[in-house]
Amino acid sequence: MKTIRDFAENFRNLNTGSGSTAKEVVWDNVTGTFVEVPAGTHIGSGDDVITSPDVKGFGSGEEPNPLPSKDRNWNWQEGGIFETDALKDKTAAIIGCGGLGSQVAEQLARNGIGRLVLVDFDVFKARNISRHVAGVSDLGRKKTDICEDIVRNINPYIEVEKYDVNICDHPQVLKEIVAKANIILACTDNNSSRFRVGSQLAESGKPGLFGRVLKRGQGIDCFLYRPGDACYGCLFGNNVIMEEEIRDAQAGLESGQIPAYASPEDIDILVQPGLPDDMLPLVYIMTKWAMLQIVDAEKYGLAGLKAAFGDTNYILFANRQEGQFQRWGTLAAPGTGPAIGRYYAMKITKNPDCMICMNDHENTE
């Protein structure tokens, strides 16, 4: 049985041959492969070469719906998939391909990112289904392989590199990953890995984003590291300590969020993940913020978005009035203070005692 990866590889290989600039590609029901036809050729229901309705992602019905060749893949006005070519030469490294990382990878692929570096040592389990882009048919597979299939089904020409490693155990590999990327997105679920990424970003001078889902999915927060500015360690030095979600008992015990001596009853109370869509505000912010760090905002019509974000480096969003957001206002009656369902941005300053970037003691506003 052919997989989406097989179709994507077939499609990419066919379009990289000589003379493909004047060709388009359609699915051939007779040979079971992708074939080239002259650009602009009309293929009706009486022809052998038609788009198969059984090939997921490659059109349906009797009329052909060929994808553009690689040289026409980016510009929407030229018949391509993406609205602009802003990200086609950019590389994003996604560390952690779980619920958050998989959705961010999907959105970056839809926005036309040219290359992704996917990092995760874990396999897909039943408890991951509610938040991940994958489903039951992917149980037991590596999360990096799943994400690769997802993004290739969006853009067959995307370049993907995978690392099935725990970055906490392989600092040299992390250094190699950071060196390859224009932007690094830390989508892991523990501070041990985040501090490792934060330290490497400060050393290499690369921008990076850190996303967290807070306790019971009550809210989310996102931190942006700009080279020379406050780092992930400074975030904690500024007393911005939010209670983070514990997604399952094993992860909580491994990260230290659940004490080793906790009783089964205590663990049941502590492990209370939120709703699947509690993560969506974070996916939106990480995708938009990542793009702003690596593209020319003026050139690609994002100047207004860039101005809206300003020089902020920390964003907080509350999903509901609960726990640490119990006293926040509602959407209907926000009052004079913060309210749920809204993004709040702030500027985190450098901490002169930060263990990550302590060599630079200059405090910035």
More confident residue, 12 or 193: 193
What is the reported pTM? 0.77
Q: For domain 91-346, is the CATH number 3.40.50.720?
A: yes
What is the share, in percent, of the chain residues with pLDDT greater than 90? 52
- Please state which of the ranges 2-11, 102-111, 218-227 shows the lowest mean pLDDT: 2-11
User: pLDDT per residue over 255-281, tens digit each?
Assistant: 555 566 656 665 555 556 678 899 999
- The arithmetic mean of pLDDT across residues 247-251, rounded, is 59
What ranges do the domains of the chain cover? Answer: 4-72, 91-346
- The arithmetic mean of pLDDT across residues 103-117, rounded, is 96
User: pLDDT per residue over 18-67, tens digit each?
Assistant: 444 455 555 555 555 566 666 555 444 443 333 333 434 444 444 455 67
Predicted confidence band of residue 321 (pLDDT cuts 50, 70, 90) = very high
- The arithmetic mean of pLDDT across residues 226-252, rounded, is 72
- The arithmetic mean of pLDDT across residues 83-110, rounded, is 95
What SS3 string covers 120-139? Answer: CCCECCHHHCCCCCCCHHHC
With a cut of 60, say whether residue 160 has pLDDT above it.
yes
User: pLDDT per residue over 198-217, tens digit each?
Assistant: 999 999 999 999 999 988 88
As a whole number of angstroms, the distance between CA 250 and CA 311 comes to 38
Q: State phi, psi for 28 to the nearest 5 degrees.
A: -100, 110
pLDDT score for 275 = 81
pLDDT score for 362 = 45
Cite the DSSP H helix spans in the chain.
4-15, 99-110, 143-154, 171-180, 191-204, 232-237, 249-255, 264-270, 280-294, 303-309
Do 281 and 320 contact (CB within 8 A), yes or no?
no
pLDDT score for 250 = 62
With a cut of 60, say whether residue 361 has pLDDT above it.
no
Predicted confidence band of residue 128 (pLDDT cuts 50, 70, 90) = confident
With a cut of 50, say whether residue 335 has pLDDT above it.
yes
pLDDT score for 36 = 63
User: pLDDT per residue over 296-312, tens digit each?
Assistant: 999 888 999 999 999 99
Q: 232: which residues sit within 8 A by CB, 6+ positions away?
A: 194, 195, 197, 198, 201, 210, 223, 225, 356
